[in-house]
Amino acid sequence: MKRELRERARQLRQNGMSVREIARTLCVSKSSISVWVRDIELTEDQIEQLKVGQHRYGAQNAGSQANRNKFMKMRELYQEEGRTKAREGRPLHMAGCMLYWAEGAKKRGRLYLVNSDPNMMIFFIKFLCDEMEVAETDLTVTVHCHATDSAEIYRIEQYWLNLLQLPQTALRKTQIKKGSETRRNRLENGLCGLGVNNTQLVQHIYGAIQEYGGFDNPAWLD
């Protein structure tokens, strides 16, 4: 296998491919490729093409870094908005942010909270809609349950949609959890996952949590 890789690497090099590209194509370290092809001389045209490619690669890297910096600044701005809002001391805002700190998924650009408590989910959707002004059309519901019977799955789905007063279009594919349906502690209505894809919203909440808690968590910016 190693001999075949070596021969393939030499062939690619003779065709004018860079060591970096060969290593990526064959999933072999650059150091190994360099040893295998070091005796192969490239033509002037091939050398010029490699120079052009290196320049383009450097420009792409610079552009990618600029984009990363741009989006980092935006997340910093969104967190500062959350901190500013927290300083207003609004009870619903504080309660919703603290609930998310305790129960929510800590993702960079997606808000997602899962729970079986209907009152908690009603409260959280009130926080999102009344305090954070999230549109109903931006909310998604994902049901997690042990049920396998289609009628029972439908009942559970409708239970959560009706409870949260959300349309059928908010429902995402139900997640069936493996396990016995006869287990004593099986949740009658499963779990409800409430989600919103919105980086500004998530980072606002992260900023508010830090302001309320009196700490800094740089990891939430990454």
Q: What length does the chain have?
A: 222
- For residues 104 and 208, state if they share a domain: yes
* Domain enclosing residue 29, as ranges: 2-65
Residue 76 lies inside a defined structural domain of this protein: no
What is the distance in angstroms between the CA of the first residue and the CA of the last residue of the chain?
A: 40
The three-class DSSP label of residue 191 is strand
Span 55-83, pLDDT tens digits: 665 665 666 667 777 888 999 999 999 99
Instruction: Please name which of 177, 140, 146 lies closest in space to residue 161, comparing C-alpha atoms.
Output: 140
Span 105-131, pLDDT tens digits: 998 889 999 999 999 999 999 999 999
pLDDT of residue 24: 86
Instruction: Please name which of 44, 208, 184, 43 lies closest in space to residue 132, comparing C-alpha atoms.
Output: 208
Residue 173 lies inside a defined structural domain of this protein: yes
Tokens of 4: 């075949």
- For residues 115 and 181, state if they share a domain: yes
- For residues 31 and 136, state if they share a domain: no
- pLDDT above 70 covers a percentage of the chain that reads 91
Query: Which residues make beta-bridge pairs with 196?
Result: 111
Q: How far apart are CA 78 and CA 20, in angstroms?
A: 38
- For residues 57 and 141, state if they share a domain: no
- For residues 158 and 212, state if they share a domain: yes
CB atoms within 10 A of CB 191: 19
Span 155-198, pLDDT tens digits: 999 999 999 999 999 999 999 987 654 555 578 999 999 999 99
Residue 85 lies inside a defined structural domain of this protein: yes
pLDDT of residue 179: 63
